[in-house]
Every structure is written in structure tokens, then in C-alpha cells.
Amino acid sequence: MFDDLSDLDTTGLLARSSETVQARRLAEVDDLEVLAQWAAVHTNDPTQGPDGHIARRVGNVLVQVGGDGTPGVQDFCLGEIALARGTGVMASRHALADVLDLQHRLPLTWAVTRRGECEAWVARRVARLSRHLPVDNVSLVDSAVSRMIATEATGRVLTVAEAKVIEADPELHDERCEAERQRRYLGLGRTDEYGLRTLIARLEAGDAVAVDATIHRVGEIIAPRHPDASPDELRALAFGWLARPAELLALLVEHLTPEAEPEPDPDLDLDLGEPDLDEPDPEPGPSRALAFPADLLDALREIDLTPLAPKVVLHVHLHEAALGNTGGVARVEGFGPVTLSRLADLLRGCVVKVQPVKDLSDRVRYTAYEHPESLRDQVHLVTGGDYWPWATSTSRTVDLDHPTPYDHGDEGREPPPDQTGSHNSGPLGRRHHRWKTHAGYRSRQCGEGRYVWLTPHGLGFLVDHTGTHRIHPEKARIILDAPLGVDIYPA
């Protein structure tokens, strides 16, 4: 029977929600521990003893479902426990592999999970990410994840876990990357009744981004020609231009920005003409994709086509300890963690312009309401993403909020100065920004990358570089109600 919750007020419902989540987490841990204990009573080798030859013949042998260092379990025992749990065999096998990895390979993370301080599925995901590592190397992942899994959002925990998996054994990671590179493909589906086909490709991340950037640029150019096209349709039309390199080159050359346009060569006549999009393809005849005159090909070999390449900004986060270390790991925004060798591959063939290093300790202040781009960049580098409690987004495409609301002044009164700056700026996703503005949430910045929150019904949180932490509501109120210009740093 379910409890009647209608008598609970909003505060009681919030408390009940926290209690229910804690109970669910502990129940999931109990489920995993029952699985592990079931495996523990089935770890004896059935092929040993007088009837061992029978067990071997029928296939009831010890199998290792977890990673290196986990005990084997009798193959036949997996079916019965799966029936008792009401799941398929593979689902129970995967759950058993995860809990054995947590117990024997990731004990620090498992200890946090057993206390109900994190979601069991996140710990299980870390176990799967690190399963291929030798048992002697996996402790690096365990140590890093156990320190943050209870206080950071899931996306950030998994990003760190992925980086630590690479750092734990860079050579093994490179071998796995090379194996996956050999699984690259491009597939073309059948033509459907509407004359359309599906093309699917798995390729290098850098190449995929470059193709996407080119499609985006072509879509911008041809958009006026297709005013009724949806964004997806426009991208499909732009993708089709990749099949016609001569017309694509003419299109891009024609629409070069003046500052990027190469100097004309008086001795070179390159009149590619305007492609006629309404003229049907000539049949029979050579494919337009191959319709390059020989003299044009010779001329193109002498031209610097660098200005035609799409321009992108790559944000790479690299600790100074990784420099000169072949096993160092960098974090590339939009890509995730990569080894330094993979970073070099990503940048190969690019013209790299290194931006000046920002001093994140500078306190920048502005009187205007708007946040300039230089401030937006600094705030992102300090906070690492959305400053809402437990937020997962680390994107730069978020709103920049004033934690202490901006005072626009009123008739006859000028707005107070220096309200916008590194002391009063925080990135928020659009939904979080709307809630913070209109739903009764209060926040205040109390240091670089440190924010205090108070929810409408009195839940207090501190968000900083170590994650999200509950604080006493009264402490949050004291900080939020302190006079402006007074910095209070919560313990």
C-alpha cells in the first residue's frame, strides 16, 4: 500500500522526496549486493571433483563476467537469479559484472554508492567504462571518481572518468582507438519510393566537425535561394553540394568575405561562372563531380585555398603537468578528453592561432547590463558551465545571469555602477534562468566560481568547483541578505 501524501505540505513533500530517493538508492545497492552474494556462493569450480568431467561437458564452467581481478562465477547460476529478479539473463549478467567490478576494482566508489550518496547507475557506468583496464591500473579511476561522484552532476563525473581511463593506460587507449578507427565506414541505403536515400558515416571526430562546418557555411549561402526550406532540409541541400566539388568551389569563392579573399593573379584566369541550379543535369555526359577541365586542375594546384576552409575555435584545457608527458590528457570542449597524440592528430593540417592566456584572477566590472564576450569567456573558464545546483551542462551556449539581480534604476535615478562583472556573473541554461528569474529562487555569488542558492521552500545549496553541496537554509539566508559589497564565504 502507498502512503497518503495529501496531508503533506510543500516542505513535507520536499523532505519526502529526498527520503524516497535515498531509500531507492539503498534498495538498488541491496539488489546489487544480493547479486554479488549469489555469485559468491557459486564461485567454486564445478569442473573440479569426481563429477568435473560432466560439468565441463555440459558447459557449467567458471566464467569471468567482470573485469580483471574479479572472481569467476558458475555459468549455470546466472539463469536462476535472473528469473528470481524478473529480468533477462543478459541484464542480470551485466548488473553482476558491474557490482563485481565495483567491489573488487573500484572499492572507494563502491563505498560511496553503498552509503546512498550517489546514483548506483552512475557508479555502474564508471565500472563499464573502466572494465578493460588491468586491475593494477584501475585505482587511478577509482580515486578520482570517488572524490566527486557524490557532489558533481552525472555528466561531469563521466567526463572525468573517461579522462582517467585514458590516463590510467594511454598505450592501451591508443590501441583501442586504432581498433575503432578500423571500424570506420560510410553506408548508403536503398533509394525509397520518394527518390531519397540515407547516407550514414562513422569517421574521425575532427573530420566530422569539418564536414559539419562546411555544410553550415554552404547552408548560409544558399538559404536565400530556398526561403521555404526548413533547417534540416537546408542542411540536406547543402550536403548535396559536397558531391559537386566544382560548383562548391565556385560557390565558396564567390562568397568569400573581402578580408579573406585572395589577391587576384593577373596571369591566371579563373572564371568558374555562376552555377545554374535550374538547369537539369546533362545526360549522357560526365558526372558533374568530375567535370574539372585539365587546365583548371593545374591552376587549382597553384592556388592557396586556405581561405576557403571553415574557421573554428577550439578550446583545449591542459594542465601544465601534462606538458612533455606522453601520457598526458587534454580536455577539448565539444570532444571530451583526448591524449596529446590524438590532440596533435586533431590539429594536423590546421593553421593554429594561440590566443593569449587569460588571468582568471582579474576582477572585471562593467556598468552596463550586457555581458561582453571577454567576460563571458572568463566566467565560463572559472565556472565550467551552468551554475544551477546539480546542473550537467558545460556548454558555452547558455545565458549569462546576474546572481544578484541587476538594478536598472528608475525614473530620476541612475543604475548603481559596476553591477556586471566577474563578481556578479554566472552561466545558466535558458530553463534554469527562467526559473531563477520568475519562480522565487534566490542566488548570490560569494567568490570566484562560488554561488549560494535558496529555493522557494527553503533548501540551501552551495555550488563551487567541487560540485553541489547542501547547506543549512539559515546560512544561505545570511549570505543572501548580506549588504551588497560585502563578500561572505560559506564554510
Residue 310 confidence class, pLDDT cut points 50, 70, 90: low
- 118 and 212 part of one domain: no
- 94 and 110 part of one domain: yes
Q: How many domains are there within the chain?
A: 4
Side-chain-side CA neighbours of 176 within 13 Å: the count stands at 14
Report the share of the chain in percent with pLDDT over 90: 45
Lowest mean pLDDT among 148-157, 363-372, 402-411: 363-372
Mean pLDDT for the stretch of residues 143-150: 96
- 212 and 335 part of one domain: no
Q: If you search the block for the grid coordinates 535550374, which residue do you land on? A: 278
**Helix (DSSP H) and strand (DSSP E) numbers for the chain:** 17, 15
Beta-carbon neighbour count of residue 132 at 10 Å?
14
Dig out the grid coordinates for 210 from the structure: 569539418
Mean pLDDT for the stretch of residues 84-107: 94
pLDDT at 395: 85
Residue 490 confidence class, pLDDT cut points 50, 70, 90: low
Does position 285 have pLDDT exceeding 70, yes or no?
no
Mean pLDDT for the stretch of residues 172-193: 88
Mean pLDDT for the stretch of residues 139-150: 96
8 A C-beta contact, residue 205 and residue 346: yes
Does position 66 have pLDDT exceeding 90, yes or no?
yes
pLDDT in tens, 448-465: 889 999 999 999 999 998
Cα 51 from Cα 46, distance rounded (Å) = 8
8 A C-beta contact, residue 375 and residue 366: yes
What angle is formed at CA 434 by the lines to CA 432 and CA 438, rounded to 5 degrees?
125
Q: Classify burial at 489, counting beta carbons within 10 Å of its beta carbon; exposed 0-12, middle 13-18, buried 19 or more.
A: exposed
pLDDT at 132: 95
Residue 259 confidence class, pLDDT cut points 50, 70, 90: very low
In a domain, 385, yes or no: yes
| Residue-wise DSSP of 311-355 | P----EE--GGGTT-TT-EEEETTTEEEEHHHHHHHHTT----PP
Q: If you search the block for the grid coordinates 555528466, which residue do you land on? A: 155
- Residue 299 belongs to domain spanning: 201-276+286-308
- 301 and 215 part of one domain: yes
Does position 35 have pLDDT exceeding 50, yes or no?
yes
Mean pLDDT for the stretch of residues 38-58: 79
Longest pairwise C-alpha distance within the chain: 99
The DSSP letter of residue 413 is: B
The residue among 309 and 222 whose pLDDT is bigger is: 222
What angle is formed at CA 161 by the lines to CA 156 and CA 166, rounded to 5 degrees?
130
Does position 394 have pLDDT exceeding 90, yes or no?
no
- 459 and 386 part of one domain: yes
- 418 and 342 part of one domain: no
pLDDT in tens, 233-247: 999 999 999 888 878
Does position 38 have pLDDT exceeding 90, yes or no?
yes
What does residue 468 show for φ and ψ, rounded to 5 degrees?
Answer: -110, 135
pLDDT at 290: 44
The pTM of this model reads 0.74
Does position 95 have pLDDT exceeding 80, yes or no?
yes
- 336 and 379 part of one domain: no
Residue 255 confidence class, pLDDT cut points 50, 70, 90: confident
- 141 and 67 part of one domain: yes
8 A C-beta contact, residue 89 and residue 83: no
- 223 and 101 part of one domain: no
Tell me how far apart the terminal alpha carbons of the chain are, to the nearest angstrom: 43
Does position 117 have pLDDT exceeding 90, yes or no?
yes
Cα 248 from Cα 212, distance rounded (Å) = 15
pLDDT at 298: 67
pLDDT at 286: 43
Does position 330 have pLDDT exceeding 50, yes or no?
yes
What does residue 415 show for φ and ψ, rounded to 5 degrees?
Answer: -60, 145
Mean pLDDT for the stretch of residues 182-208: 87
Does position 443 have pLDDT exceeding 50, yes or no?
yes
In a domain, 187, yes or no: no
Dig out the grid coordinates for 340 from the structure: 596529446
- 160 and 98 part of one domain: yes
Report the share of the chain in percent with pLDDT over 70: 85
* Cis geometry, peptide bond prior to residue 282 (ω within 30 degrees of 0): no
- 405 and 330 part of one domain: no
Q: What is the mean pLDDT of the chain?
A: 84
- 160 and 34 part of one domain: yes
pLDDT in tens, 368-393: 788 888 888 888 888 888 999 998 88
